[in-house]
């Protein structure tokens, strides 16, 4: 049947643009905690957003036990066996995450009869969307709110255009294509030192590439997080919460910014690949200590700023030129995962724009925002609980980001009902650890006491550092 020439009119309580991790976590709370009707629209054919186009060897960077949607477990409860994450909680593979989201949509959301899902449709704003396949246009009226779950604009290597030129005759690929190599090159140049650059280097080493055959273009050294401290099961209580306590104390006791980062590294909160280089980047990437050791075997590290162009014989960078060969594979890892750092109020009249309200936790953030939407009356009350934790890029951003997080944590701690809801939510990893504290477990209680004592002092210190940053900017 040809498409109708005028848009098909639809009505639902909520219209959600985007069925990525954030749209799904938000919708899940509406589905389970309300009787709302929902329209979900997405450009991809399956839910899960960027996981649809992730590189084949991608894995979650953190444990699966607190990723996904609140109502469905993603983790199998297994631990990684062997390899560079041996003994740490399972980090699901990309295909497992995609299958999980498909399952949640098909077996949880759609059977309620309250969710209408429009995959392969582009949302063009104001309730309008169009099918990629038939060209049919639609107009959806949201009787309650529209939710823009596309705001963070995740950029992944497969969908990103590099910001440098690549001449004909250069062997160049996104890291997605590494497993398709059939013709061994002279060597590899990995462009980018964010999480995908790290993953590309680790993949090459895991496939027995000689570290000497890898050139790693690192425009900025990064502060990284130790994966051992993101574990939310009892054996890791002292790693995860102990490091939280040490992190708060390090900030509280710091005499200036540089001293704060030194203390954060000394206490194990931060790590870096090259301890002789001062980090300028902080994206919240997570690695294991064994991965850091493996990365340190790569010694051809080029620190000349961003790449500007690649020809078959030369790589031009902002700070100079290095030689390459036509038979070298250049691996593009320059996509920044989350590109949209514009901050908007989360609640603004009939529009909700989910953003991060807890550091490193996009899906937990989306779930909290949906809960707040359902349970509070005014945007003022809601935004007071959902201050945006800005996505970090530079090391200075750590200050703004941690301060915003502490402010939200404080606001939540003052609200008993919300506190209880968070404690029961599967996406809140810390509650799982806190629940392991027995009545006379003095050692564990000492850790939580340290956190409680240091948090306000850390917040006060971050206010001071933030004022200095604001003054520098003015």
Ligand X SMILES: Cc1cc2nc3c(=O)[nH]c(=O)nc-3n(C[C@H](O)[C@H](O)[C@H](O)COP(=O)(O)OP(=O)(O)OC[C@H]3O[C@@H](n4cnc5c(N)ncnc54)[C@H](O)[C@@H]3O)c2cc1C
Which of 283, 294, 280, 274 shows the shortest CA–CA distance to 225?
283
HSE-CB at 458 with a 13 A cutoff on CA atoms is 29
- We find the least distance from the C-beta atom of residue 105 to ligand X, in angstroms, to be 12
CA 392, CA 402: separation in Å to the nearest integer? 10
Task: Identify which of residues 19 and 244 has a Cβ nearer to ligand X in the complex.
Answer: 19
Task: Identify which of residues 148 and 249 has a Cβ nearer to ligand X in the complex.
Answer: 148
Contact 231, 239 (CB under 8 A): yes
Run of H or E including 145: strand 137-148
Place of tokens 């939510």: 425
Contact 194, 283 (CB under 8 A): yes
Task: Identify which of residues 302 and 433 has a Cβ nearer to ligand X in the complex.
Answer: 433
Task: Identify which of residues 61 and 444 has a Cβ nearer to ligand X in the complex.
Answer: 61
- We find the least distance from the C-beta atom of residue 61 to ligand X, in angstroms, to be 4
- We find the least distance from the C-beta atom of residue 102 to ligand X, in angstroms, to be 13
> Per DSSP, what are the bridge partners of residue 126?
none
- We find the least distance from the C-beta atom of residue 290 to ligand X, in angstroms, to be 18
CA 406, CA 404: separation in Å to the nearest integer? 6
- We find the least distance from the C-beta atom of residue 80 to ligand X, in angstroms, to be 13
Where do contacts with ligand X occur on this chain (CB under 6 A)?
17-23, 41-44, 49-50, 54, 58, 60-62, 67, 122-123, 149-150, 152, 154, 156, 337, 361-363
Task: Identify which of residues 126 and 380 has a Cβ nearer to ligand X in the complex.
Answer: 126
CA 243, CA 264: separation in Å to the nearest integer? 9
- We find the least distance from the C-beta atom of residue 278 to ligand X, in angstroms, to be 26
State phi, psi for 166 to the nearest 5 degrees: -130, 115
Report strand pairing: 314-317 vs 320-323: antiparallel
- We find the least distance from the C-beta atom of residue 233 to ligand X, in angstroms, to be 16
State phi, psi for 204 to the nearest 5 degrees: -65, -45
Task: Identify which of residues 287 and 310 has a Cβ nearer to ligand X in the complex.
Answer: 287
Task: Identify which of residues 50 and 330 has a Cβ nearer to ligand X in the complex.
Answer: 50
CA 385, CA 357: separation in Å to the nearest integer? 9
Task: Identify which of residues 53 and 252 has a Cβ nearer to ligand X in the complex.
Answer: 53
Which of 324, 302, 314, 310 shows the shortest CA–CA distance to 162?
310
Tokens, residue 199:
């993953």
Tokens, residue 163:
């910001």
- We find the least distance from the C-beta atom of residue 90 to ligand X, in angstroms, to be 11
Task: Identify which of residues 23 and 392 has a Cβ nearer to ligand X in the complex.
Answer: 23
Which 3 state secondary structure label does DSSP give 294? Answer: helix
Q: List b or e across 271-288, with b for residues whose CB sees 16 or more CB atoms inside 10 angstroms.
A: bbbbeeeebebbbbbbbb
Task: Identify which of residues 287 and 459 has a Cβ nearer to ligand X in the complex.
Answer: 287
**Alpha carbon of residue 288 to chain centroid:** 17
- We find the least distance from the C-beta atom of residue 195 to ligand X, in angstroms, to be 6
Query: How many other C-beta atoms can be found within 10 angstroms of the C-beta atom of residue 124?
Result: 12
- We find the least distance from the C-beta atom of residue 123 to ligand X, in angstroms, to be 4
Task: Identify which of residues 18 and 192 has a Cβ nearer to ligand X in the complex.
Answer: 18
CA 74, CA 25: separation in Å to the nearest integer? 13
Task: Identify which of residues 19 and 240 has a Cβ nearer to ligand X in the complex.
Answer: 19
- We find the least distance from the C-beta atom of residue 18 to ligand X, in angstroms, to be 3
Tokens, residue 285:
């990437």
Place of tokens 């060897």: 57
> Per DSSP, what are the bridge partners of residue 140?
10
Tokens, residue 47:
């839910």
- We find the least distance from the C-beta atom of residue 459 to ligand X, in angstroms, to be 24
Question: From its phi and psi, is residue 167 left (phi > 0), alpha (psi between -120 and 50) or beta?
Answer: beta
């Amino acid at each position: 049947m040809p498409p109708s020439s005028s848009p098909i009119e639809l009505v639902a309580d909520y219209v959600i643009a985007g069925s990525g991790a954030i749209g799904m976590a938000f919708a899940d709370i509406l589905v389970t905690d309300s009787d709302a009707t929902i329209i979900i629209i997405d450009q991809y054919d399956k839910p899960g957003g960027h996981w649809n186009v992730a590189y084949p060897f991608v894995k979650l960077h953190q444990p699966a036990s607190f990723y996904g949607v609140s109502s469905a477990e993603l983790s199998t409860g297994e631990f990684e066996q062997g390899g560079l994450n041996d003994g740490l909680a399972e980090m699901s593979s990309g295909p497992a995450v995609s299958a999980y989201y498909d399952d949640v949509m098909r077996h949880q959301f759609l059977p309620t009869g309250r969710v209408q899902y429009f995959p392969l449709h582009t949302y063009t704003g104001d309730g309008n969307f169009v099918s990629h396949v038939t060209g049919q246009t639609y107009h959806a009226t949201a009787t309650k709110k529209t939710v823009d779950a596309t705001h963070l604009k995740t950029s992944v290597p497969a969908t990103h255009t590099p910001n440098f030129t690549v001449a004909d005759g250069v062997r160049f690929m996104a890291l997605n294509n590494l497993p398709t190599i059939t013709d061994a090159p002279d060597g590899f140049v990995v462009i980018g030192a964010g999480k995908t650059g790290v993953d590309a280097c680790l993949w090459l080493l895991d496939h027995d590439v000689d570290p000497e055959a890898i050139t790693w273009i690192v425009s900025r050294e990064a502060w990284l997080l130790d994966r051992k401290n993101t574990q939310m099961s009892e054996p890791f209580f002292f790693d995860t919460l102990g490091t939280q306590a040490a992190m708060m104390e390090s900030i509280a006791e710091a005499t200036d910014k540089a001293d704060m980062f030194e203390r954060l590294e000394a206490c194990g909160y931060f790590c870096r690949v090259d301890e002789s280089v001062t980090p300028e980047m902080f994206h919240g990437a997570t690695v294991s200590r064994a991965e850091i050791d493996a990365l340190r075997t790569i010694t051809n590290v080029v620190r000349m700023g961003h790449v500007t162009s690649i020809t078959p014989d030369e790589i031009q960078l902002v700070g100079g030129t290095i030689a390459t060969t036509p038979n070298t594979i250049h691996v593009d890892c320059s996509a920044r995962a989350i590109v949209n750092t514009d901050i908007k109020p989360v609640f603004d009249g009939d529009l909700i724009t989910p953003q991060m309200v807890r550091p490193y936790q996009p899906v937990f953030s989306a779930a909290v925002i949906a809960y707040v939407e359902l349970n509070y009356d005014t945007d003022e009350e809601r935004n007071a609980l959902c201050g945006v934790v800005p996505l970090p890029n530079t090391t200075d951003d750590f200050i703004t980001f941690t301060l915003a997080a502490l402010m939200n944590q404080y606001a939540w701690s003052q609200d008993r009902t919300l506190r209880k809801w968070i404690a029961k939510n599967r996406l809140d990893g810390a509650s799982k650890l806190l629940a392991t504290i027995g009545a006379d477990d003095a050692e564990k209680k000492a850790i939580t006491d340290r956190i409680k004592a240091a948090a306000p002092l850390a917040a006060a210190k971050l206010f001071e550092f933030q004022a200095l940053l604001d003054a520098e900017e003015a």
